Structure 1
Amino acid sequence: MKSRSNKKRWSGEVTRHSNALDLEPNVFKQSSPHRIALSLKHSAEASTRRKASPYQSAMSMLNFYINRAGGNLSAKQKKSLVRAKSELRKVFHQE
């Protein structure tokens, strides 16, 4: 049986090679919620492969990352990502 560190993580593959969005490298590691939101917005609007609206695609990718990486995130980074949800709503005028 392979050790946990040697296994391919499907969630990591999705984040790196999403079929719907081409993400900026390390977008989720940025400390600014506003910059994370702007990067996701740009990626979602530029994508020709997404099935949902740009807003839905961006929010889905952000939620996916928070849910899948949540246990391994520092409290500071998780707080930044949760705040990025509000910022994403603002930049897409969804509030």
Structure 2
Amino acid sequence: MPSKTTRKRAAKDKREGKSPSTQAGEYVHEEIEHVREGKHGARSAKQAIAIGLSKARRAGVKVPAKKGAKKATRKKAAQDSAAAKKRKAPSKKRSTATKKALKREGRSAASKTALSRQARAAAKKRPAASRSAAAKKAARTKGAKARSAAAKKAARTRKRNS
């Protein structure tokens, strides 16, 4: 069950007209924090993200499965979205079994390195034009203060890497 603050942040994102993926990001962030805190583990960063997305869909965020997703993934996404409408209590046996299985998994899936590796791998699959458009949109919607901070950070990074 997502925390109240997560649901509030997602609702705020929705009110502000932000995309469903941004709203779902709140749930993914919470899930990564759970792994870091040791509430449970995950096999990979991808799994931690998938759990967060599933929670978001069940909370009513309209996040569709990716176009190139496997049939099983699309089916699960549809089930999660349908569950948001039903609001049926989950099976006790099933949730206990899931929790026990996740407890046995490692915690390194939520490390900065693992998440960075996952983000890079996901970005590599996208065409350059799509990545460029996303970067341009980010720069446009960031705001003056944040843009300035990002520019300073980029300058520091360039200096460190040269």
| TM bucket, shorter chain | 0.3 to 0.5
Larger RCO, structures 1/2 (Cα 8 Å, 6+ apart): 1
> Which has the greater radius of gyration?
2
Structure with the larger helix share: 2
Q: TM-score, normalised by structure 1?
A: 0.34
